[in-house]
């Protein structure tokens, strides 16, 4: 990862998620996304709108997640 990508990723995680420190690895990122899906489906069903939001969020995060 380039220095620019590293700095951008650290800013993203700090500003939007309050996370300070190294960018999470891919296993942690997958765990995070799976938990977002579980939370969205907590009412017993995962609506298309909820699923699409999580997919869009993961896509917007790009290589940081």
pLDDT in tens, 3-18: 877 777 778 778 877 8
The model's confidence at residue 64, banded by pLDDT at 50, 70 and 90, is: low
- Residues 50/44, Cβ–Cβ less than 8 Å: no
Which residues make Cβ contacts (< 8 Å) with residue 41, sequence separation at least 6? 50
Please report the pLDDT score of residue 15 as a whole number.
84
The model's confidence at residue 62, banded by pLDDT at 50, 70 and 90, is: low
- Residues 31/24, Cβ–Cβ less than 8 Å: no
Report the percent of the chain where pLDDT is more than 90: 26
The model's confidence at residue 63, banded by pLDDT at 50, 70 and 90, is: low
Please report the pLDDT score of residue 54 as a whole number.
87
Which residues make Cβ contacts (< 8 Å) with residue 61, sequence separation at least 6? 12, 29
């Amino acid at each position: 990862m380039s220095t620019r990508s590293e700095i951008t990723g650290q800013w993203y995680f700090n500003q939007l998620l309050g996370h300070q420190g190294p960018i999470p690895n891919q296993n942690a990122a997958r765990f995070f996304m799976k938990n977002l899906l579980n939370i969205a489906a907590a009412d017993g069903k995962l609506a298309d709108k909820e699923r699409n939001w999580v997919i869009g969020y993961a896509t917007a995060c790009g290589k940081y997640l």
